[in-house]
Amino acid sequence: MNSGSEYKNLRVFVTGAGGFIGSHLVEALVHSGAQVRALVRYTSRGGRGHLEQLGPAVYDSLEVVLGDVRDAQFIRNHVRGCDVVFHLAALIGIPYSYDAPNSYFDTNLQGTLNVLQAAQEAGVRRVVITSTSEVYGTARYTPIDEAHPLQAQSPYSASKIAADKLAESYHLSFNLPVTTVRPFNTYGPRQSARAVIPTIVSQLLAGTDVLRLGSLDPVRDLLYVGDTARGFLRAGIAEQAVGQVINLGTGEGISIGDLAHLIMKIVGREVPIVEEAARVRPPASEVRLLLANAELAKATLGWVPQVSLSEGLKKVAEYVGSNMTAYRVGSYAV
């Protein structure tokens, strides 16, 4: 299904627009004809995050606003007049959530409440809430469908479960047209060193003698960011998606250890792997297995992933190789 004509001239508000997935979604929305208001978190430096990497053909068409999802009045002012809201703003680093759980609930839960309330007052056509496969915890069965039990194995995942349930409550209580998109492990260009794939690629390209990682046995379902963005586009307009929680994933899993060896082949460097204790999650917090059942996305959105893992990893290697100064190879990014 082509969503391009369906977004033409729609007024769209995107929170977290300067982030990894957010910047790719903004780019896709512009190419689909949308009028995009892009929220980037305010700092005194006035940075636009990854939006600064978009070409002028995309960036110059945006209305970029600097602010914070934790400010209800600010969100209310900028949701007003929009047709569709994509809410991606969140704190996402799992290790940091062990150290600063209050920050995660302030942003991930209060921020979501502010977006839902503003959307309700403004009468928007659709709100798309961004969830995460981390809310499932370690799989009790595979592939994981949307009915799988939720388990908070980190403060981060607890904050996202709470936000998902808040979105559900606004749909059931107030008939707000909400769709919750639950991507599995998205990767691609612009992802930070906090994530495992750019961590592996940047170390290998920097010429390190060993590859320093955490646990090697967890299995992940890796989804290329372009496919994730396409899923969001469909979720913003597909009528069958209202009130639904929808997984986005490939249905194929790979362990972190096997992933590291695959990337070594792509980059052309084989080095020993060293498991560092500082990079290992607490045992009961580590999510061991994530593998998606994305049949609902196929049925309701007409969506299936298109980019293979090898193809996507090559794109990441090209990006990281051209942006090595953004990756602090000698330190562990949380």
Q: Which residues of 73-83 are buried (b: 16+ CB within 10 A; e: fewer)?
A: ebbbebbeebb
Q: Residue 197 and residue 222: Cα distance in Å, rounded?
A: 10
Q: Give Dmax over CA atoms of the chain in angstroms.
A: 57
CA 143 to CA 131: how far, in whole Å? Answer: 18
Which helix (H) or strand (E) covers residue 122, if one does? helix 111-122
Tell me the chain's radius of gyration from C-alpha atoms.
19
Query: ∠ at Cα 40 (37, 45), nearest 5°?
Result: 130
276: how many CB neighbours lie within 10 A of its CB?
A: 11
Which of 7, 104, 136, 156 is an active site residue? 156
Instruction: Spell out the residues 6+ positions from residue 325 whose beta carbon is closer than 8 angstroms to its own.
Output: none
What is the distance of C-alpha 7 from the center of its chain? 21
Question: In sequence order, what are the beta bridge partners of 40?
Answer: 66
Which of 276, 61, 303, 57 is closest to 183 using CA atoms?
A: 303
Can 224 be counted among the known catalytic residues?
no
Which tokens belong to 19?
A: 């982030």
Count CB-CB contacts under 10 A for residue 334: 14
- 254-255 and 219-220 strand pairing: antiparallel
Residue 125 sits at φ, ψ, to 5 deg, of -75, -35
Residue of 23, 107, 45 whose CA lies nearest to 71: 107
- Active-site residue numbers? 156
